Amino acid sequence: MNLSLYLLTVVIWGTTWIAIKLQMGEVAIPVSIAYRFGLAAVVLFAILLLSRRLQKLDGRAQMICLAQGLCLFCINFLCFYTASQWIPSGLIAVVFSTATLWNALNARIFFGQRIAPNVLAGGGLGLAGLALLFWPELSGHTASRETLMGLGLALLGTLCFSAGNILSSLQQKVGLKPLTTNAWGMLYGTLLLCAWCLVSGTPFAMEWNTRYVGSLLYLAIPGSVIGFTAYLTLVGRMGPERAAYCTVLFPVVALNISAFVEGYEWTAPALFGLLLVMAGNVLVFRKPKLAVAPAAEEARA
């Protein structure tokens, strides 16, 4: 079952990055995100009500859902959508794969879990790999500022995503299912985005064409309803650190799609950088060998 959830998450989230790119146009970014999660919330609540699986939440759980909506379904995607204007979608997916490191750091902050040396080493490899992947853009004078802004926003979005993982893990520890908490979180995220649009005077425009509507439906149903449910189910079963392992495979899918659709060009440093990022993520999940006690050694002898 876990393997099926892994593969489902990798395939769906490895392809949503290019769909986000297709959302860029006349509709403002916060409006597009509100449409996406508003539609996803309606679908989730309909499924839960028809199947009578909607769980009741107390005040504490609702507050966590509100925080989850802010992190996972609001700020997170504001960062990613904005970053996609300046850097290729495949590179955003690579930055997103550093969620493995952020999850380990957040587990230390919130749950007091010790950060193993392999996590620090994996983080170092990942950062070195990102530098190589972005080197062609960073070395150019014309696009360097926009590239740095896109990179910074992608990292901030990944940090918010990781915080949302921790919040979902807390909910599941008390028996709340991802379907219910996602429905409320997406609703809260949509309301926050709509409130921001009203305050800032952002118009609720719409593009009635195949590109926009098709990408919106893909992001709302497979990308949000199915993808987030599958991934956060893994978070509850395996913990945020191990669940984030599936993000190791996202860049492979996303960068190849980016090369085909956006004209992303592979270079030797970029390929080596991708290998470093993936190796760093794998290293994060490598369990350190336990020291064998002297008594046990004597018993073997």
pLDDT tens digits, one per residue of 251-286: 677 777 777 776 777 778 778 887 887 787 677 666
Is residue 50 domain-resident?
Answer: yes
DSSP states of the chain as a string? -HHHHHHHHHHHHHHHHHHHHHT-SSS-HHHHHHHHHHHHHHHHHHHHHHTT-PPP--HHHHHHHHHHHHIIIIIHHHHHHHHTTTS-HHHHHHHHTTHHHHHHHHHHHHH-----HHHHHHHHHHHHHHHHHHHHHHT-TTTHHHHHHHHHHHHHHHHHHHHHHHHHHHHHHTT--HHHHHHHHHHHHHHHHHHHHHHHT-------SHHHHHHHHHHHIIIIIIHHHHHHHHHHHH-HHHHGGGGGTHHHHHHHHHHHHT-----HHHHHHHHHHHHHHHHHHPPPPPPPPHHHHHHH-
pLDDT at 239 over 90: no
Averaged confidence pLDDT in the chain: 82
Whether 38 and 190 have beta carbons less than 8 Å apart is answered as yes
Is residue 296 domain-resident?
Answer: no
Is residue 298 domain-resident?
Answer: no
pLDDT at 75 over 90: yes
Is residue 38 domain-resident?
Answer: yes
Is residue 141 domain-resident?
Answer: yes
**Which tokens belong to 17?**
């990055």
Is residue 213 domain-resident?
Answer: yes
Whether 284 and 124 have beta carbons less than 8 Å apart is answered as no
Is residue 137 domain-resident?
Answer: yes
* 41 vs 108 pLDDT, higher one: 41
pLDDT at 298 over 60: no
pLDDT at 100 over 60: yes
- Cα angle value 247/253/258 (rounded, 5°): 120
On the 0-12 / 13-18 / 19+ scale of CB atoms within 10 A, 52 is exposed
Is residue 301 domain-resident?
Answer: no
Whether 227 and 16 have beta carbons less than 8 Å apart is answered as yes
The confidence score (pLDDT) of residue 274 equals 78
As for how many domains the chain has, the answer is: 1
Identify the CA nearest to 258 among candidates 36, 84, 142: 84
- Separation between Cα atoms, residue 64 and residue 61, nearest integer Å: 5
The confidence score (pLDDT) of residue 281 equals 66
This prediction's pTM: 0.79
Whether 6 and 246 have beta carbons less than 8 Å apart is answered as yes
pLDDT, tens only, 113-146: 776 777 667 767 777 777 777 676 656 545 567 7
Whether 17 and 258 have beta carbons less than 8 Å apart is answered as yes
Mean pLDDT of all residues in 185-207: 96
Residue 53, domain extent: 2-286
